[in-house]
Amino acid sequence: MAVVGEFYGHVLERGVGSTLSNQLYQALRHEILRGRWTLGERIPSFKEIIAQTGLSRNSLLRALDQLEAGGYVERIRHKGVFVKATATHGNRSLGTVVIPVPADAPIESHHGQPSVETQTFSRISVGHLAKTAGKLGLRTRIWPVGHRSVWSSGDGGADSDLFGVISLFSPKQLQRFFKPRLLDRVVYLGTDDFLARPCLTGDPFTAAYQVASELIKHGHRCIALLPSPALHQATEDLVRAGIGTAMRDAGLSAGPEALPEMPGPDAPIPSDATAAFGFCGECARDVLQHARAAGFRVPEDLSVVSLQEQQGPPCDGLRICGAGYEWDDIIGTCFDILLSSASSPPRSVARLTFDPRVHEGNTVAPPRDSSVFLGVVNQ
């Protein structure tokens, strides 16, 4: 990572999974929402921002395009860029953003806030969504849905109060719950359905590749795989491909003997495996707990990793290594698309894929001598 510049305390740097123009956009948007400039006030000029940040004019133009698409600023020729909307003006009564979730899906606590599972990202904090929405004058509502659920006035307000939908479901599934006229403003979040548009999605292949590479770097050559029933087959295939590619790129075998599969988290660890790779946070946490109950020391006897970073408190004092995302960036983009869909012309987005990066945790260590390890397994 290389620091390029700074903007009102926001560090702009290369190699962090977000472009410089997007980092500047996030910084400008944050300062607008916190009231650094009042409604109608001109923000610093091109020359001033470039001098302060060290960014190119093209990066600044891209950041301003995003701000304008989101309705935050207005550019007036020969005069400058002026604040068009703030957290305390104009957006107070926009309405409610509904987030439908499966009624039988576990809603867990993340730093005291409920969180729900996505298909291509990790768990997302509902409180994080609500906080961002509140800054924009929007309310959020988590709506548990079953097979017969249909949105109506009895589910949280009149239809006129519905500003938009953030969907963890595919388009086909979502149409069961809402009348077509209510789906003008939808953003699909973390769904692996390629027909979902606009959609913000993670990168399961790269995430799996990065986490597997972390194990390989520590000397692991046989990694037990624990698939998740929550993943669609297409996403699971990408995860397997990412792990296999990491093995082959390191000059290692990627066959079933090197990547044996566990039928469940409480199944015996394959005898040659020195690490376990969970395809979701819950899978990794379960296998960690079962391994410790069976007498394994983690990570001394068995390293445990996850496709997704661990959220919430440590598990038995351990934080599981996994791939994570810049949620401020993702959630901010999500609401930008929703807000721009109310403008004319709306912002045109198909699928935006966000780059993961490994959160190391403390569940990975070099494998023990195989004879010692097999003795633990066979006890």
Secondary structure of residue 30 in the 3-state scheme? helix
Over residues 248-266, mean pLDDT: 94
Q: Which residues pair with 76 in a beta bridge?
A: 80
Residue 343 pLDDT greater than 60, yes or no? no
For residue 199, the cross-strand partners are: 188, 351
Pick from 44, 46, 66, 68: nearest CA to 55: 46
Q: pLDDT higher for 158 or 325?
A: 325
pLDDT > 90 fraction of the chain, expressed in percent and rounded: 35
Rounded distance between C-alpha atoms, residue 282 and residue 271, angstroms? 23
Pairwise CA distance, residues 20 & 2, whole Å: 11
Identify the structural domains of the chain with CATH numbers, from first to last: 2-83 (1.10.10.10), 95-201+326-356 (3.40.50.2300), 204-320+361-377 (3.40.50.2300)
3-class DSSP assignment, residue 164: strand
- The lowest-confidence range among 262-266, 294-298, 335-339 is 335-339
- Interior/surface letters 12-24, b for 16+ CB within 10 angstroms, e for the rest: beeebebebbbbb
User: Residues 322, 324, 325, CA angle at the centre, nearest 5°?
Assistant: 170
Other CB atoms within a 10 A radius of the CB of residue 376 amount to: 17
- State mean pLDDT over 301-330: 86
pLDDT at 366 over 60: yes
Q: Identify residue 50 by its one-letter amino acid code.
A: I
278-310 pLDDT, tens digit each: 998 888 888 998 888 888 899 999 999 999 887
Mean pLDDT of 344-373: 75
Residue 269: name the closest of 254, 248, 286 by CA: 286
Is residue 110 predicted with pLDDT exceeding 70? no
| Rounded average pLDDT over 109-115 | 58
pTM score of the predicted model: 0.71
What is the rounded distance in angstroms from the CA atom of residue 25 to the CA atom of residue 29? 6
H or E segment at 226?
strand 223-226
Which two tokens mark 199?
């959609």
Residues in CB range of 95: below 8 A, 6 or more apart: 138, 139, 160, 161, 162, 163, 164
Confidence of residue 85 (pLDDT cuts 50, 70, 90): low
Band of pLDDT at residue 146, cut at 50, 70 and 90: confident
Report the SS3 class of residue 307: strand
Q: Which single residue is written with the structure tokens 């007036």?
A: 76
The DSSP annotation for 106-123 comes to --EEETTEEEEE-SSS-E
pLDDT of residue 377: 36
Residue identified by tokens 């509902």 is: 126
Ranges 57-71, 95-109, 125-139, most confident: 57-71
CB burial of 102-135 (b: ≥16 within 10 Å; e: otherwise) equals beeeeeeebeeebbbbbbbbbbbbbbbbbebbeb
Instruction: Please give the structure tokens belonging to residue 268.
Output: 């015996």
For residue 208, give the 3-state DSSP assignment.
helix
